[in-house]
Amino acid sequence: MKRVYTLSIALALLALVGGLAPSAFARPEHGFGDFAHFEEHTNRALHQLGLSDSQQSTVQTLLRTHAKEVIRLKGEIATMRVDLRPLLQTDPVDMNRVKQAFQAIAAKEVDLHLAHLTVMQDIRQVLTAEQQKKFRAMMEHHHGREEGEHHDHEEGEHR
């Protein structure tokens, strides 16, 4: 009976790690959880700014470098989740080791979000003052819309 109870807790924690935990980090106020969405939105916004050839080249280099970093971090996070599974299957579960594993995963997820913010800052450095102003306005408009959709969805309303 104790084994079944422990297994139930372990499965619930795995669901949390595999399901809820990523979604909590995947949709922060900036909405950068899905890299394809982030890249598409950023490229669309930058296209509207009329970048010079030099700016386009620099931005594409920044985005390629960022994509590699995202792949690396997501791979590390996935590996850490795999390593967590056996910790959750022990009887009894070593809560200190599980807590450390969760904290390590959360730290990597923070690194992922900081990487998104860093590339956005790096891109802004490439833009002229006028382009920065337009870019900021586009991002604020998009984020405001996304936050509204997210809040409506939380309240059970679907658009």
Pick the CATH number of 2-26+33-144 from 1.20.120, 2.40.50, 2.40.360, 3.40.50: 1.20.120
Condensed to tens digits (0 to 9), the pLDDT of residues 103-115 reads: 999 999 999 999 9
Q: Under DSSP, is residue 78 helix (H, G, I), strand (E, B) or coil?
A: helix
Tell me the mean pLDDT in the region 57-75. 95
Q: Which pLDDT value is given to residue 13?
A: 36
Per residue in 42-63, pLDDT (tens digit) is 777 778 889 999 999 999 999 9
Tell me how far apart the alpha carbons of residues 7 and 15 are, in angstroms, rounded to a whole number. 12
pTM confidence score: 0.65
Q: At what angle do helices 35-47 and 129-154 cross, to 10 degrees?
A: 140
Percentage of the chain exceeding pLDDT 70? 67
Residue 92 preceded by cis peptide, ω within 30: yes
- Where do the structural domains in the chain lie, given as residue ranges? 2-26+33-144
